[in-house]
Amino acid sequence: MTQDHAFIGRQPILNRQQQIIGYELLFRLDKDAQSAEFTSDMQASTNVLVNTLTNMGTDWLVGGKLAFINVAESMLESNFLELLQPQRVVLEVVESTQPSPALLQRLQNLRAQGFGIALDDFVLTQESMHFLEHANYIKLDIQMLGMPQVPALSQELRKFPALQVAEKVETKAEFKQCLEIGFDCFQGYYFARPETLSAKVIHPSYANILNLLNMLRNNAEIRDIENALKSDVALSFKLLRYINSAGFGLSCEIQSFRHAVTILGYQKLYRWLTLLLVTAAAESGSPPALLKTAVTRGRMVELLGAHYLDGQEKDNLFIVGMFSLLDVLLDMPMDRVLETLILPENICDALINRSGIYGPFLELAEACEDPDMSEVPRLTEQLQITADVLNRAHISALSWVEELDL
C-alpha cells in the first residue's frame, strides 16, 4: 500500500554553550518508530534524502541550522548527494564504511564542494585512521566506548583539526564530564530525544518520471520538458519546493517551469528525478480523479487568461490553476502549503483569496466544475469572456488532459 505520509527523525546537536548548531536527521518508517529499522543503508539514506529535499523541505526540518545526514558507502558513491546544498549539510560517514582509495578521494571532492564530513560512532583503528584527515567532525559514542576510555581517545584525536562531538550523552554528570574533557559539541537524551516529524505526501506518476528521464536523456527541447512537468501536479509541486528552497542560493523567484528547468539544468534535474524514481510507488498516493482535476484546472486557467495576459504573467496561469488543489492533496491549509514554496505575490493572492490578476480566471475555472454553473454568468461578464470562448477553453482543457492519458 502506498504510504501517504513521510516521516523523519530529528535530534539536535549543541555546542559548548548548549546552543543548537544542527540536527541529525534519522530514518523513520512511521510516526511511532523510536529507532531506525530498514533493510539497507541505501534505503535509509535515500528515504532521508527524499524527505529532506522534497517531501518536507530543508528549511522546515532544520531552519538555518546544519543538517547531519547518515551516509553509507553506496550513497557516498552515488550522485544523489549533489542535489543537496553543501554549505548546509554534514555527511555522517557510518562506521561500517571501508576507507578505499576511491572513497577517500570522493570524500575529498565532497569536502571541496563545501560539504561537512563527520565520522559517526568513531573508533580508532588502523583502517579508520585514513578518514581523519577528511573529517570536520568526529562523533564519539560515550556509551559504547565507556567513559573511562573517552579522555585518552579524545586527547589522541586532538592531533586532527576536526570538532569532537560527544554522542549518547544521557545525564548531567556525563555532560559535565564531557565538557571537562574538552568536547566541542554534544548530542543525546540529556538534551533531547529524537522527535519524529511527518508531512502529507503526494506521489508523482511513476510513468511520468520515467518519461521525463527519457526526455532528458535524449536532450529534448525545454518546451517539451515543461509540458511534461505540467502534466503531473505532484512533480511540479516537488520541483518548485526543491528549487525554491532557501538553501538553493537563488537570488530570484522561480517564475515558471521553463525558468526552473533553465536554472536547474538537465543534469541536476535528471539526478533529482532519479532520486524520486528510487522511492516512488507505482501507484499514486492521491486519488487519480483529484490529480486529473488539478491538471485540467491548470490548463483551463491558462486558456482562459491566454488572450488577456502575456509573457511571464501568462506562464503563471497554469501554476495558479494546478496548485489551487494542493491544500486538498496535502490535507493542510493553503497558507501553510505556500510556506514551503517561494511564489510571486500575484500567484499567492489568487491561491489564498482568489484575488489579483489571476484570481478571477481561477474562480471561473472552478465555477465550470460546479454542475449548476451558477457563478459562470457573473464571472464571464466580469472578464468579458463570451460563452463560445468559455466552451472552447473548457473542451480544449478536457481534451488536452485526456491526451496526456492521466
pLDDT-based confidence at 65, cuts 50/70/90? confident
Predicted pLDDT of residue 39? 43
Q: What is the DSSP string of 280-345?
A: --SS-SS-HHHHHHHHHHHHHHHHHHTTT--HHHHHHHHHHHHHTTHHHHHTS-HHHHHTTS---H
Same-domain pairing of 399 and 356: yes
Dist. CA 227–CA 208, nearest whole Å: 11
Give the CATH number, domain containing residue 187. 3.20.20.450
pLDDT-based confidence at 27, cuts 50/70/90? low
What phi and psi, each to the nearest 5 degrees, are found at residue 308? -110, -25
Same-domain pairing of 32 and 127: yes
pLDDT-based confidence at 144, cuts 50/70/90? very high
Same-domain pairing of 14 and 67: yes
What phi and psi, each to the nearest 5 degrees, are found at residue 89? -125, 135
Give the CATH number, domain containing residue 354. 1.10.3210.10
Q: Residues 173-192: what's their mean pLDDT? A: 93
| DSSP structural state of residue 246 | G
pLDDT, mean over the chain: 80
Predicted pLDDT of residue 74? 77
Using a 10 angstrom Cβ sphere, with 0-12 exposed, 13-18 middle and 19 or more buried, the burial of residue 278 is middle
Q: Is the pLDDT of residue 57 over 70?
A: no
Same-domain pairing of 98 and 227: no
Domain count, the chain: 2
Q: Is the pLDDT of residue 277 over 70?
A: no
Predicted pLDDT of residue 25? 80
Q: Is the pLDDT of residue 278 over 60?
A: no
**Which of 157, 174, 199 is the endpoint of a domain?**
199
Dist. CA 361–CA 358, nearest whole Å: 6
Dist. CA 173–CA 390, nearest whole Å: 73
Q: Residues 229-245: what's their mean pLDDT? A: 78
Same-domain pairing of 168 and 261: no
| Residues in contact with 150: Cβ distance below 8 Å, sequence separation at least 6, in sequence order | 140, 142, 166, 178, 181
Q: Residues 283-303: what's their mean pLDDT? A: 76
End-to-end C-alpha distance for the chain, whole angstroms: 20
- Look at residue 55 and give its three-state secondary structure: helix
**Which of 199, 226, 254 is the endpoint of a domain?**
199
Predicted pLDDT of residue 287? 65
Give Dmax over CA atoms of the chain in angstroms.
Answer: 84
Same-domain pairing of 152 and 18: yes
Same-domain pairing of 12 and 81: yes
Highest mean pLDDT among 240-254, 263-277, 293-307: 293-307
Q: Is the pLDDT of residue 205 over 70?
A: no
Q: Is the pLDDT of residue 273 over 50?
A: yes
In terms of C-beta distances under 8 Å and separation of at least 24 residues, what long-range contacts does 36-43 make, across chains too?
36/9, 40/74, 41/70, 41/72, 41/73, 41/74, 41/75, 41/94, 41/96, 42/72, 42/74, 42/75
Same-domain pairing of 167 and 226: no
Q: Residues 300-321: what's their mean pLDDT? A: 82
Which of these ranges, 112-121, 163-172, 187-196, 387-396, has the smallest mean pLDDT?
187-196
Residue 146 C-alpha cell reads as 565507556
Highest mean pLDDT among 48-52, 259-263, 362-366: 362-366
Same-domain pairing of 382 and 298: yes
Q: Is the pLDDT of residue 242 over 60?
A: yes
Which of these ranges, 92-101, 132-141, 144-153, 272-281, has the smallest mean pLDDT?
272-281
Dist. CA 99–CA 105, nearest whole Å: 10
> 24: part of which helix (H) or strand (E)?
strand 20-27
Same-domain pairing of 183 and 260: no
**Which of 180, 199, 218 is the endpoint of a domain?**
199
Q: Is the pLDDT of residue 118 over 90?
A: yes
Predicted pLDDT of residue 37? 45
Handedness of CA 156, 162, 163, 167 (dihedral sign): negative
Q: Is the pLDDT of residue 198 over 70?
A: no
- Domain residue limits at 385: 206-404
| Residues in contact with 310: Cβ distance below 8 Å, sequence separation at least 6, in sequence order | none
Q: Is the pLDDT of residue 45 over 70?
A: no
Predicted pLDDT of residue 281? 39
Residue 218 C-alpha cell reads as 535524449
Q: Residues 217-229: what's their mean pLDDT? A: 85
Same-domain pairing of 220 and 337: yes
What phi and psi, each to the nearest 5 degrees, are found at residue 117? -120, 125
Q: How far is CA 26 from CA 64, 145, 208, 236, 337, in A?
A: 18, 22, 29, 26, 24
pLDDT-based confidence at 38, cuts 50/70/90? very low
Same-domain pairing of 42 and 113: yes
- pLDDT tens digit sequence for 326-351: 888 767 788 887 876 567 889 899 99
Dist. CA 361–CA 369, nearest whole Å: 13
